[in-house]
Structure 1
Amino acid sequence: MAVKRLEYGLILVGLLAFHIFFVDYLSFYLLLFFCFLPVLSLVLTLLSGLRVQVRLEAGAEGGSGNYAVKKRELFAVRMYFTGNSRLGGKRIRVRMSVKNELLRTEETKTLAFAMEKKKQLVSFPVSSEYCGNLTCRIRQVKLYDYLWLFAFPIKEAAEICAAVSVKPDIRPYQMNLRDQPAWDWESDEYSAEKPGDDSSELFDIREYREGDRISRIHWKLSSKRDELMMKEGSLPVSSRILLALDLAGTADGGGLADSLVETAASVSWFLMEKGICHRVGWWQEAETGGQFLVRKIEDEEAFHQMLHEILSSGRGAESMNVIAGCLEEEHISRILYFCTGLTEKEAVFLCGEKEAASISIFQMKKTGDTDRISGRGEKGQEPGEAGRAAAESLGAEWRVLKEGRQAEGMKGFEI
């Protein structure tokens, strides 16, 4: 390392000055010894072998696959080093990073240690205050001689990674359900409680009632029972509720993004537990730009898969991209839009184009903040209030949620 090389250089300069001013055998042999000491260290390092294998684990020891923890929960990152060293004391320096794929934040850590002859375990604790998929990655491994002067990169160990998922808290919000089952004539799913007009799927057979259409008579069964029996069609149902997650405006810190994901996930879990099929949409960042993804949530497995994808989505999308994705979704009667605020143009674009849908907008704010959008309000309004006024004038519901206190804002909300 640079510090060790500087220290060695200063020692050589000091010994050289000592030899110049005090010419004798002692000063000469001391200077000669320190000149050949790096060569000796290098030779011993080469003789002990340069092959080192590295294995990285995060979470439970010996575990495989994606390991999940709660926010602020400590978990261990372990690096296993194995080699064929004939001598102990190999100097190893590791540079690794821990990246939150949701927030796109990254921390680096450098470790230096002396390895034993055959094996060495290096472990350190990690935790995250915010949710997101964490990628623990080894960026660089270097093997040094005994004096830390010569470095040999271990290329095979670079870019080894392990993943840990930090889940958001799922909170039991006090919400109410509307007794309005969604229906969709193009759906392959049917209501188990109410009949409909889709004759391709039989719901029930009953006795004739005055006013029933002749086309619904079950002639074969009626002839057997000597009374008119009617066929009832089924009512197609579909996932007509869309939860849209807009993480634009959360780049200042992780708290807003964490609270938005937590709120959307809690509402989705609530609907899933009630047996209500719904959709969740968000903007997925990619190297080539990104896309609006939508996942259908029917059961717990689909919920956890959706949540895992969101925790790697990033947060750099513009609100217009998310709104455009919402507008492209067909057969939607209810939109729950989670964001940090909308401009007047964005609010009109969302609420004006999707007139057939009932829209509820949830604006997440930091405690004490007014709005993420500064300088866009009308004269006499708080910044960003123009977006809220535009949305409400078009019939949308607007709720303000406070970071860390979302349950208060969600109380009594009717889906």
Structure 2
Amino acid sequence: MVKNRILYGLFLLAAVIFHSFYTGWFSFFLLVFAVLLPVFSLLVSLPAMLRAAYEAELPARCFCGQTVQYRLTARHMAKLPVSRCRLRLTVSDAVGGEVRQQRLELAGTLGFALRIDTRHAGVQTFQPGKGRVCDALGLFSLPLRLPDACSIAVEPEPQEPPVLPNLSHFQYRSYHPKPGGGFSEIHDLREYRPGDSLHEIHWKLSAKTDKLIVREAEEPDLGLVVLSFDFSGTRTQLDSTLRQLLWLSGWLTEREVAHQIDWIEPDSLEPQTKSVKTPDDLRELLNTLLQTHLTGNTPSLASRAYPHADWRYHVQPEEQEVQQA
């Protein structure tokens, strides 16, 4: 805009000098034209300037490695398009803590597309600001209506760990009657109670004891199941850890094994625990982790003891990822 105003000032000065030395009708016409030109440009451009706006478009979901874009689309309601719009786009990465700014100049009805960095997992926020819309000559500007900040979570895809832990290693300490009965490899013998199914009566043992003995199906009382991981290392190592964590937690959830996930919050260095019973719990945890800043100096939980846990597994990045780091 400064450049346009300087050029217009030189044009107006030339018209004044020309009229000073030549008093004919043409010099007067040129001077009037130079004076009224900005007013005419503003009047013609004003309807479009007042209605100029942009809308942001983001995909609903994306994963690491995908090609996705953040788009700014013009939504000008006037018949005449605006000449030029200026704005500043700020892109911030929650996990990496990086903030980038980019100045944009968009002409007419042209939009803008920015390829999102999906190399690593994390939430990225796009904040357009300081928008101005100019008239046809670029001498005047008005505030431009811009969309609010929007975010997208670049998610890691679940990946099976190189060494898969075995759920059969659970040490069951107690058992309880299986709701509804049915098939079970573990049974308890007790006397018949009203309402018991005839199919559950142990007829041979009942004949020996002269009492109705029932084979009651039981299932184990599953104790504390813990998945732990370290929110530390490089971005590549963290991606590997999150991929395996998602796979393991999803594996346990599919088998209806309630578990807890432990980690240390990098900023406060406070231990964190999340109970996971359903896929929604896991998604809620993932959203939290993808907004956590990676500091690189977080203590490890690998050596932490869990004496009350029946089963515990510490998720670590793959060896190949560690070597690359």
Aligned 1:163-242 pairs, distance under 5 A: 163-178=151-166, 179-183=168-172, 196=174, 206-207=188-189, 217-218=190-191, 220=193, 225=206, 226-227=210-211, 229=213, 235-242=220-227
The answer (yes or no) to whether the contact 2:231–2:266 under 8 Å persists in 1 is: no
C-alpha separation in 2, matches of 1:145 and 1:183: 76
C-alpha separation in 2, matches of 1:246 and 1:237: 28
Aligned 1:228-377 pairs, distance under 5 A: 229=213, 235-247=220-232, 250=234, 254-272=235-253, 276-283=257-264, 292-316=271-295, 319-320=298-299, 331-337=308-314, 362=316
The SS at the match of 2:293 is: coil
Residue 42 of structure 1: aligned partner = 42
Identical amino acids, percent of aligned pairs: 18
The answer (yes or no) to whether the contact 1:38–1:149 under 8 Å persists in 2 is: yes
Residue 12 of structure 1: aligned partner = 9
Residue 137 of structure 1: aligned partner = 127
After TM superposition, give the deviation of residue 284 of structure 1 in Å: 5.6
After TM superposition, give the deviation of residue 9 of structure 1 in Å: 1.1
Of residues 401, 407, 415, the one that matches 2:319 is 401
After TM superposition, give the deviation of residue 283 of structure 1 in Å: 4.9
Which residue identity does 1:44 align to in structure 2?
A: V
Which residue identity does 2:243 align to in structure 1?
A: E
The answer (yes or no) to whether the contact 1:95–1:141 under 8 Å persists in 2 is: yes
Q: 1:48 to 1:263 in 2, by over 3 A?
A: closer
Which residue identity does 1:71 align to in structure 2?
A: C
C-alpha separation in 2, matches of 1:282 and 1:16: 70
Structure 2: state its 5+ residue gaps. 195-200
After TM superposition, give the deviation of residue 50 of structure 1 in Å: 0.8
Q: 1:307 to 1:122 in 2, by over 3 A?
A: same
After TM superposition, give the deviation of residue 180 of structure 1 in Å: 2.1
Which residue identity does 1:8 align to in structure 2?
A: R
After TM superposition, give the deviation of residue 137 of structure 1 in Å: 3.0
C-alpha separation in 2, matches of 1:174 and 1:198: 35
The answer (yes or no) to whether the contact 2:266–2:295 under 8 Å persists in 1 is: yes
Residue 79 of structure 1: aligned partner = 72
The SS at the match of 2:21 is: coil
After TM superposition, give the deviation of residue 237 of structure 1 in Å: 0.8
Structure 1: state its 5+ residue gaps. 60-66, 185-195, 208-216, 339-361, 365-399, 407-415
* Cα deviation code 1:55-92 (max 9, x no counterpart): 32212xxxxxxx22232322233334334425333432
C-alpha separation in 1, matches of 2:161 and 2:34: 71
Residue 124 of structure 1: aligned partner = 113
Which residue identity does 1:237 align to in structure 2?
A: L
Residue correspondences, number: 302
Of residues 107, 112, 117, the one that matches 1:114 is 107
Cα-Cα RMSD: 4.3
The answer (yes or no) to whether the contact 2:48–2:76 under 8 Å persists in 1 is: no
Residue 87 of structure 2: aligned partner = 94
Of residues 52, 62, 65, the one that matches 1:69 is 62
The answer (yes or no) to whether the contact 1:78–1:121 under 8 Å persists in 2 is: no
* Cα deviation code 1:236-274 (max 9, x no counterpart): 214422223322x54xxx434333333433443455566
| Structure number with higher relative contact order (C-alpha < 8 Å, ≥ 6 residues apart) | 2
Which residue identity does 2:275 align to in structure 1?
A: K
Which residue identity does 1:39 align to in structure 2?
A: V
Q: 1:50 to 1:131 in 2, by over 3 A?
A: same
Aligned 1:378-393 pairs, distance under 5 A: none
Larger radius of gyration: 2
C-alpha separation in 2, matches of 1:51 and 1:139: 17
The answer (yes or no) to whether the contact 2:223–2:310 under 8 Å persists in 1 is: no
Which residue identity does 1:262 align to in structure 2?
A: R
Residue 21 of structure 2: aligned partner = 23
Residue 198 of structure 2: aligned partner = none
Q: 1:197 to 1:15 in 2, by over 3 A?
A: closer
The two structures have a TM-score, normalised by structure 2, of: 0.70
